[in-house]
Structure 1
Amino acid sequence: MSPDQIQLVRQSFARVAPIADQAATLFYARLFALDPAISRLFSGSDMPAQGRRLMEMIGDAVRLLEQPAQLDAALRELGKRHVAYGVQDGHYTTVGTALLATLADALGPDFTPATRAAWGALYAHVGDTMQAGAQEVF
C-alpha cells in the first residue's frame, strides 16, 4: 500500500471506530445476506463479542500498516486459526465485499473512490496473507 492509501485507511477507520458496534452488526448482516451458509460458522457465537473481535482485528491491522512483518505474521496466524472454524477460500471474497459495503454505508460520501481503493488494497493483502497462513495448516 502506498503512504497515501495508508493515510486514507487510517483516517476513515478513525471515523468508523466510534460506531464500531453498529458497523460490526451491519457487516455481519451483509455477510450473511451475501452467503447465508456462512452464518453456520457462527452458530452458537456471541455475535456482539464476535463483532468486537472483528473491529479490534481491523484496528490492529490498521495500526500495523507500516510494520508489514508484524502485520503479516499476525495475519498468517489468524488464517491458520480460521481453518479450524471452517473458513474456506471462497469466503474471503464474500467477506471483502461485505466489508467494503459496510464501510460505504458507514462513511457515506467520505467513502471516495480513492478510499475504496485503499481499503480494497488492504483487504486484498489481508485475505491473501490469511489464506497463505491457512495453507500452512495443510
Structure 2
Amino acid sequence: MTPTQIAAIEASFRLVAPIAEPAAAIFYERLFTLDPMLRPLFARTDIRDQGRKLMQAIGFVVAHLRRPDAMLPAVAALGARHAAYGVNPAHYDTVGQALLDTLAEGLGPHFTEEVRDAWAGAYALIAGHMIEAAGEARRAA
C-alpha cells in the first residue's frame, strides 16, 4: 500500500468511527442481503456485539497500516479463528463487497474513487492473509 492510500484510509476511517454502530448495522444488513446463506454463521451471535468487534478490528487494521509487521500476525490469527467458525475463502469476496458498500453509504461524497481503491487494496491484503492462515489451520487440523 502506498502512503497516499494509507492516508486516504486513515482520513476516511476518522469519518466512519463516530458512526461505528450504525455503520456495523449497515454492514451486516448488506452482508446478509448479498448472501443470505451467511446468516446461519451468526445464529448464536449478538449482532450488535459482533458489530463492535468488527469496528474494533477495522480500527486496529487502520491504526497499523503503516506497520504491517505489527498487524499481519494478528490478522492471520483472526483468519485461523474464522476457519473454525465455518468461513470459507469465497465468503471473503462477499465481505469485501459489503464493506465497500457500507463505506459508500456511510461516507457519501467522501467515498471517492481514490478512497474506494485504497480500501479495496487494504481489504485484499488483509483477506489474502486471513485466507492463507485459514488454509494452514485447516491443514493442521
TM range (shorter): over 0.9
Alpha-carbon distance, 1:69 to partner = 1.1
Q: CA deviation at 1:119?
A: 0.2
Aligned counterpart, 2:104: 104
Query: What stretches of structure 2 of length at least 5 have no aligned partner?
Result: none
Distance apart, 1:7 and its partner CA = 0.3
Unaligned runs of 5+ in 1: none
* Distance (Å, rounded) in 2 between the aligned partners of 1:91 and 1:70: 25
Distance 1:36 1:22 in 2: 20
Give the Cα separation in 2 of the matches to 1:39 and 1:106: 22
> How far does the alpha carbon of each residue in 1:69-126 deviate from its partner, in whole angstroms, 9 at most, with x for none?
1111011100000011100000000000000000000000110000000000000001
For normalisation by structure 1, the TM-score amounts to: 0.99
Question: Identity rate of aligned residues, in percent?
Answer: 49
- What is the RMSD computed on CA atoms of the aligned residues? 0.5
**AA aligned opposite 1:92:** Y
Normalising by structure 2, we get a TM-score of 0.97
2:51 paired residue number:
51
Q: Deviations over 1:46-89 (max 9, x none)?
A: 11100000000000000010111111101110000001110000
1:2 aligns with 2:8: no
Separation (CA, whole Å) in 1 of partners of 2:77 and 2:17: 24
Moved over 2 A (4+): none
**TM-aligned CA deviation for residue 134 of structure 1:** 0.5
**Corresponding residue for 2:30?**
30
Aligned length: 138
